[in-house]
Structure 1
Amino acid sequence: MSARAPYAAVTQLPPLVCHLPIDPRSVTRARKALRRRLPEWGVGAEPAGVAELLVSELVTNAVKAPGPAIPVVGVRCAVVGGRLRLEVQDTSEEQPLLHRQVEEDEECGRGLMLVDVLADGWGVVRHVIGKTVWVEVAVEVEVAVGGGGLTYPQTARPVP
């Protein structure tokens, strides 16, 4: 009899990590990189669409407010414990502000409102230089169990 457990351990796929220049084209690059990785993680279509929109908003904000140090935006995305976590790091000291009232003709100011509505959680971590803005989206991922190729959905639970 085998000493192995009856169910295979869930293997955590490595996170998506990229460093992008302070350039408007970096928004598209981040979104495309995430789009390629989401199916590998087993993330469904609806949360994948939300994640692409959220990473676009975060990278757009980082590109528009470059910091004085390094002209690079760091992007890290991973599925951990049934939650998709997206992090965007920049060197700007400017903190993201959630504008509650935006005039109809204003072109900016709605991105964090979208983040606040679509994400299951978000926040900011300050660093000595710059900050990381993170968002989390609850996802169901297909988890392979056993050797027979069976998959079962893994439902996320809210993080306290």
Structure 2
Amino acid sequence: MPVPAPVLRDSATYPPHLASVPLARRRIDRAVRGWGLPELAYDAALLGSELASNALLHGCLRDRLFRVEVERTADGVRVSVTDPKGERWPQPRTAEASEQFGRGLAIVQAVATRWGVLARAVGKTVWAELDAGAP
């Protein structure tokens, strides 16, 4: 009987402050590189940064933490961000050239192999996956 591969996972909770986004990004980068997947580290960190930024802008409540997780999957890595606002799900849109915001999910769609949203008892989790070897 084959031995299952160990689950490699890292998670941290962050306060709803702008300074949390680069902290999460660096943590994801370090974790993915540490798992021997340097070719996925930049994109995983970018996905985490976009998802964390969206959580701050649209999903966080005052004084409620949000969680960022990165997990080594059989095919690559999965980045997840959980926030407390379950009634507000991400909706991709096309931003006007003059708009400062509105491109986060477009970036996620362009970079991730797949992405989605999971409902929680409280809040939601937005996740994105990268497959090793995918263009």
What is the TM-score normalised by the length of structure 2? Answer: 0.88
Query: Contact 1:22–1:63 (CA<8 Å) still a contact in 2?
Result: yes
* Number of corresponding residues: 133
Whether 1:73 and 2:70 are equivalent positions in the alignment is no
Measure how far apart 1:81 and its partner are.
0.4
Corresponding residue of 2:42 = 49
State the AA in 2 paired with 1:26. Answer: S
Query: Contact 2:16–2:62 (CA<8 Å) still a contact in 1?
Result: no
Instruction: Provide the C-alpha distance between the structure 1 equivalents of 2:59 and 2:73, rounded to a whole number of angstroms.
Output: 29
Indicate the RMSD between aligned Cα atoms, in angstroms. 2.1
Give the 4+ runs in structure 1 shifted more than 3 A: 8-11, 66-70
Identical amino acids, percent of aligned pairs? 31
Instruction: Provide the C-alpha distance between the structure 2 equivalents of 1:136 and 1:66, rounded to a whole number of angstroms.
Output: 20
Corresponding residue of 2:27 = 33
Instruction: Provide the C-alpha distance between the structure 1 equivalents of 2:37 and 2:61, rounded to a whole number of angstroms.
Output: 36
Corresponding residue of 1:87 = 80
Corresponding residue of 1:106 = 99
Return the structure number with greater helix share. Answer: 2
Which runs of 5 or more residues in structure 1 are unaligned? 141-155
State the AA in 2 paired with 1:48. Answer: A
Query: Contact 2:76–2:132 (CA<8 Å) still a contact in 1?
Result: yes
What is the TM-score normalised by the length of structure 1? Answer: 0.75
Q: 1:9 to 1:20 in 2, by over 3 A?
A: same
Instruction: Provide the C-alpha distance between the structure 2 equivalents of 1:69 and 1:23, rounded to a whole number of angstroms.
Output: 10
Structure number with greater Rg is 1
Instruction: Provide the C-alpha distance between the structure 1 equivalents of 2:41 and 2:112, rounded to a whole number of angstroms.
Output: 12
